[in-house]
Structures are given as structure tokens and as C-alpha cells.
Structure 1
Amino acid sequence: MVIIVGTGAGGGILARELAKNGIDVTIFEKGPYIESKDAFDCYDVYNKQVDLLTTTCIGGSTIVSMSNMVRALDEELLDYGIDLSEAYEYVEDLVGVHDLDDSHIGKGTQLFLDAGRELGLKTMKMPKAIREEDCIQCGKCAFGCPVNAKWSGKDFVDEAVEAGATLICDAEVISVSIKDMEAHGVNYVKDGERKVLLDDLVILAAGAIGSTLILRQTGINAGTRIFFDPFVTVGGYLKDINFNTEVQMAGLVVGKNFVLSPHFSSFIRQNIVYDDVEDKDILSIMVKTADECQGQVYNDGSVFKDNTIEDIRYLAEGVATAGMILEKAGVDPTTIGSTVYRGAHPGGTAPIGKIVDSNLETDIDNLFVCDASVLPISPGKPPILTILALAKRLADYIINNK
């Protein structure tokens, strides 16, 4: 009855909820089915002008995420008639959102938290969906957890399959089959052969870029704009801090125009002139901002991104604040440097109010989109929890109305 394209935050929970409610579900994943420890090999490569972090595999980018779970765009979505309060409570309980136990707050993260509070900044632990009893505190969250201690979309896909859903991996959906302005299935390629699967309802959850390309091939002009959270990592020398082995991004500072979180980057080491500097001697902070939705997705899947003066100003504010925290935490200020500008969490390519309605349905009946594509503006925060809540709301809508 339902085809779901993509297995990230949106696709995973949709498959789980629908399958557990007795609905026939077929799930398509463009990438392979892997164990979480192998996710690093599935990072995508874009054009040289854009350093954008996404993965193509089971679980999508959730499998290399830090499993950060913060509510975002609550008030903004109310303007579109979308109240996620009940859905948030449901998914927070489902994935076990909580502040990490003190046993999993390392020395570097504690210095970040203490320094932020001393400076009078809005400072807190980062809500996460990590199982401390399994976590070995290796610092490799972004490589794919080697012990599967954090939630990812893969968890929900596995539950959906156990409940009777069909999973087709290594299969690229090209377009949606349309008849009389109604979705009737998908056209896809597997093992070099073009195939068709007919069904009653299609949900695209292939990410801001993947869903865009499918929508275009279906006749919907998505992807004429795009946001992704710009970020840099700022850090310096602090002998034997061993921050590189801590749970990453376990703290949070919320500014007016940016968020900061402790995040290790080995690229910081090249900025430090000391001969004996090692990864264990680096303390660093990710600076992330909300950006204006300037840019587009090209038909070959590459991305163009234009940064506005506001984008650059907000990033500079965050970098300056991160520098103050690092110095307060004991980092040698003469060694503080930054990584190159990068991007994460692409979205806004099929926004609510333009490409989809408040139920995430397009102008084509029974064709829905449920991933970061639909977010009307950049949240400037990790969007996973918001996508999970939107997907839970959509699952309930389909169960009750379709």
C-alpha cells in the first residue's frame, strides 16, 4: 500500500509506525545495508565548491550523526498549522532522549560547560539518544558507532522489517509513477535494470537532495533553493586533554545567531606549530549557524550555495565566542585556529507552503515528502528530532485518513 523512499530520520520512523499498524510497506534505500561501524565508507562526494556532509546507506545521515536531539522550529511550524507537541513527546520517549550521564561527560566537555557558564552564556548538556550502557566513549560518533550505542534510522527500519515491511537496498528511485495527477508507484534502478513498483501511496524521504531529484523527474520543480547549516570547528592546544576520545557534542551553548558544541576535528592540528602536538592535545568547538536559503540543487545532484552577509556575520560571532570559551577553558590562545567552512543538514528544497501542504502532500495526490526538504527555513540546530516528529505526525495522518 505504501512506498517509502529513504531510510533516514523521516523514512525510518514512517516505516516503523506504518508497518506496526498493519500497513503493507516497501522501503527503498539507494545505498547498501551496513553495520553502523562501517558508515564512514558511505559519505557522499559533491562538487569541490561545497563540503557537505551526508551519507548514502541504510539509516541515511542519522547513522553518522551525533544523535543530538533538540526541538527546532516549533513556533515557525505553528504558522503553517503544524503543532508537533504530542509528536515530540512520543518520539523523545521512543528514542530515549536524555542528557548524558555524568559518567559520559569527559574532561574537555566539562571544561566547555564550565567556561560557558562562567562567561554568562546559555549553556547546557546536549540532549542525545545514546545508550550509555553500550557506549565505550571512543569519540567516533561521526564515523558510525563501532558498538551501535546510539539511535539511528536503521533501528526503525529493522523494526519495520520485523513487522512485515519489505526492504530493497542498493536501489535508486528515479521518479514517481503518476496517473491522473495521482501517485501510483515508483520507477527505480536495481542491478543496472530499470524497474517499476506500483502502489497506492508514495513518501519521499531521501533527503533534501535525493528527494529533490525525484520530484523534478516527476514534474515538480523542487530544489530551486537550499539551506544547510554552515559550520566551522575552532580549536587549539591543551596538553593531554584527550578530548578526541570523548562522546562528541555532549554540551551546547545557544547564542542568538549561532550554537556552539564541543566537537573534535583532527584538522585543527595543522594550525598548531608545536612539534609534539597530537590529537589528544586538541580541544575544539563546532560553530554552527542558521543560513539564508540561497542556492540550488542541479540536475546532476551537485549543489550550489551562496552565502549572504548575514550568514558570514553570524558565523563570525560564533567563532569569536568559541575563542573566548577555549581561552577560558585553558587552551593556549596563540594556537587557536579554524577548519574550513563546511555544511551539514541540507534542507528547504521542498518547503511546506510551497511544494507540500501542512500534511506534507504535494499537488500530486498521495505523493508526500518527509525529510529536511520540507523545512521552510533553516533551524540552525540539529534537525533530526523535528523530522522524526513531522514523520510521526504524517504516519498518524496516513493511518487515520488514507
Structure 2
Amino acid sequence: IQWIFPAMQIRKTKEMVLVNGLGLGGSTAISAGNALRMDGRLRALGIDLDAEFAEIYREVPITTAHQERWREPTRRLYAACREMGLGPQPLPKMGEYAHCTHCGRCTFGCPAGVKWDSRRFLHAAVDRGARLITGCRVERVIVEGGRATGVIARQGWRRHFFRADLVVLAAGGFATPAILQRSGIGCEPRLFVDPVLCVSAPWPDVGLCREVEMPFVVQQGPIIISPYFDYLSFFFNQAWSYPAKNILTLMIKLADESDGEVVGARVHKRLTPTDKEHLAEGVRLCTEILRRFGVEGKTFLGTVNAGHPGGSLPLTGREAATLHHDHLPRNLYVADATLLPAALGNPAILTIMALAKRVAKECVGL
């Protein structure tokens, strides 16, 4: 699998495939570029991110311009959802989508360079004097006298100690808990991942593999539905043994229960009975949308996969003011989805960015 998806780390459990981004930009580089604000749970804890979202809207181009160039099958799916009263909405995207070539390779890093990703922030930081070190993995944080003094990172066969007055972990919902555990700092035995399941049907020359990924979204409680060509299923699921251009497909994304955990280098994740019920309802709804589109024959399912891990060190009302957990050293912060109290079941990047901006502001005064 790795040679096909070199920018992804891929794990397997009994019930699903788990993925996350590797390298500069992390998962933003292999995302669909969606820009939805999903901070309701954080606001309920007393965490107000209005200022941070406003900053993002000024700094990052966000648009629905891709709608003007949707292919006919996408327009028909959108119309079918409207006829069913599902309230589909075009998905805002981060980038200059007026120049999108509709190659369908958003999650392969956007060859056209249209999609925004966090490497642009990295370039800005380097221009201002930051030192960017690549090709290494942080193993643990060194804590001495109740303070973080730096990190141990592995680069090839060698380990290096990087001294720091302040340490911010933003390695993602799988890696951040593992780093904390190796540093002697416990996390909670909980993990959500936003599982994805695609419902598909053969349809000659439908060409969704050449459409912008996730052009619109239907919100249905704990699930969302969106057109999405699932390359993991296409390459590794025998049911998808059709030419890519002949596969009509809808994605279900689920806000799953946090039944799972990261234990060292291993990830344990299960679908609960409630999760399975919600996915089954999503399959029923997608099947009906495909019927409205015109599908009369069989449908087939993709491989359950997930790439939105988080929740192992969730924020509570106690941390609303500082976004800093009491059992972390004062100069050690976390700034990724590990902090989210529950699964979003939606594109998460914009909300994580706002949360990270707020963490950065808290760090300035240290």
C-alpha cells in the first residue's frame, strides 16, 4: 500500500483502515481541502474561537468557485439530494479553485497547486527566521524538574536532542498521544477517527474520479454524505473492479463514538453497535440517492477507512481559558485534534487551525 500512497501512514485494524499524512503539511497536503467551521462542542465548553476563525478567513483563500465547473453527474447528484429534502450545500474549499483542473487528485497533493495546505504557513515561518528540520520523527519529550526541556528525535539511525524553552506537539491524533506516553505523560483511553464508508454503483463514463473531491455535503445528524472517489477502495477492494471512470460513488462520514485508544505504537479502534447503526442508515440513504440518480442494478460498498483521529487528551471546561491540561508541564502544549472533546464527523482542518492559533497565542506570554 505504501508505495501507492507514499505521503500516508496506513494502519489496519479488524474493522477499518486508518490513515494519516506524513511529511510537510501533514494531513492538510492529502486532504480534500474543505473549510467548514465545526467548533460547537468547543464553544459549549466556553472556548470562543471567533477571533481565530476571522484570522483564518483573512489569511487563507476560501471559496465555492468550484461549483461553477461541476461535471454533470455531480449536478445530478446535487439535484437528487435537493429533491429528497436533504439540504445539500456546496463545500467551501481552501485554495484558488477558480483554477481547479478537476483532475480528481485532491488527496494526492493537488498536482495543479490549487489547494491550500499548511506548508504555506511553514514557508512564512522560515522566511521569518524559523529553522525547519525534516526527515526526523520526534520520539519523546524530555521533562526535567516539571518542565519540558526539549525533544528526542530520530533521524535515520541517529537520535538527536533538540533543546527548547517551549514545546508544542502537533503530530496528529495518532502520533501526539504516542509521544506523550513515551514521555511518561498519560492520555485517556479514548479515540475517535471519523470512519468513511462509500456506497457505489457501476455507471458508464460517470467520471467522478475526475471531479473535485467532496464538492457538496449533506448533513444528517451523526453522518455526512458527499460524492467522493475512494482510492483506497479502488486499489484494494475487489468489489471496485471497474474502470475508475465507471464508478459512481457517495461517501458516508461518521462522527463515531470514542471507543478506542492509542497504546504506544499501536492503535486500537472499534466500531460500536451505535456506530454500525448510523453507517447502516447512511448506506440506506446513499442507496436511495443513487436510485434517484437512475441506478437500478446492484450497489457495492467500499472499505471502511478513517483519517480524522483525535480525542485522546480532550479539553474540558477547566482548560477553556488556557487550552492547557493541568497534568502537562507548564511549557508543553498540544495543538491538534488530540484536544477535541468528540468526533466532528466533518472536515476538521479549519477547526483545528483555529484551535492551534489560540494555543499559539497562549504560548506567546510564556
TM-score, length basis structure 1: 0.84
For residue 160 of structure 2, the aligned residue among 179, 185, 195 is 195
CA distance in 2, matches of 1:171, 1:160: 19
- Establish whether residue 184 from structure 1 lines up as the match of residue 134 from structure 2: no
The 5 Å alignment of 1:30-69 reads 40-49=5-14, 50-69=16-35
Q: 1:39 Cα shift?
A: 9.5
- Establish whether residue 374 from structure 1 lines up as the match of residue 363 from structure 2: no
- Establish whether residue 334 from structure 1 lines up as the match of residue 300 from structure 2: no
Q: Which residue of 2 aligns with 1:70?
A: 36
Structure 2 counterpart SS, 1:231: strand
8 A contact 2:17–2:305 mirrored in 1:
yes
- Establish whether residue 240 from structure 1 lines up as the match of residue 200 from structure 2: no
Q: Which residue of 2 aligns with 1:282?
A: 247
AA paired with 1:155? Answer: R
- Distance change (3 Å), C-alpha of 1:133 and 1:78: closer
- Establish whether residue 346 from structure 1 lines up as the match of residue 322 from structure 2: no
Once structures 1 and 2 are overlaid, which stretch shifts more, 50-59 or 226-235? 50-59
Structure 1 counterpart SS, 2:29: helix
Q: Which residue of 2 aligns with 1:392?
A: 357
AA paired with 1:77? Answer: L
8 A contact 2:95–2:115 mirrored in 1:
yes
AA paired with 2:161? Answer: V
8 A contact 1:39–1:64 mirrored in 2:
no
- Establish whether residue 311 from structure 1 lines up as the match of residue 275 from structure 2: yes
- Establish whether residue 322 from structure 1 lines up as the match of residue 293 from structure 2: no
CA distance in 1, matches of 2:257, 2:208: 32
Q: 1:103 Cα shift?
A: 3.2
For residue 171 of structure 1, the aligned residue among 133, 136, 143 is 136
CA distance in 2, matches of 1:97, 1:202: 30
- Spell out, residue by residue over 1:262-301, the C-alpha distance to the aligned partner (whole angstroms, 9 max, x if none): 001364695479xxx53212211110111110111121x2
CA distance in 1, matches of 2:39, 2:287: 28
8 A contact 1:100–1:125 mirrored in 2:
no
Q: 1:40 Cα shift?
A: 3.3
8 A contact 2:13–2:269 mirrored in 1:
no
Identity of aligned residues (%): 33
- Distance change (3 Å), C-alpha of 1:355 and 1:168: farther
8 A contact 2:66–2:212 mirrored in 1:
no
CA distance in 2, matches of 1:116, 1:240: 21
8 A contact 1:39–1:63 mirrored in 2:
no
- Distance change (3 Å), C-alpha of 1:183 and 1:69: same
For residue 182 of structure 2, the aligned residue among 217, 221, 237 is 217
For residue 85 of structure 1, the aligned residue among 35, 40, 50 is 50
- Establish whether residue 208 from structure 1 lines up as the match of residue 173 from structure 2: yes
8 A contact 2:45–2:317 mirrored in 1:
no
RMSD: 2.1
Q: 1:256 Cα shift?
A: 1.6
- Spell out, residue by residue over 1:316-349, the C-alpha distance to the aligned partner (whole angstroms, 9 max, x if none): 111111111111122x232311112222201101
Once structures 1 and 2 are overlaid, which stretch shifts more, 313-322 or 236-245? 236-245
- Spell out, residue by residue over 1:47-99, the C-alpha distance to the aligned partner (whole angstroms, 9 max, x if none): 4534012121111111110011111132x212322111221122133221221
Once structures 1 and 2 are overlaid, which stretch shifts more, 148-157 or 58-67? 148-157
Structure 2, unaligned runs of 5 or more: none
8 A contact 2:173–2:311 mirrored in 1:
yes
Structure 1 counterpart SS, 2:194: strand
AA paired with 2:152? Answer: N
Q: 1:367 Cα shift?
A: 0.4
CA distance in 1, matches of 2:70, 2:348: 23
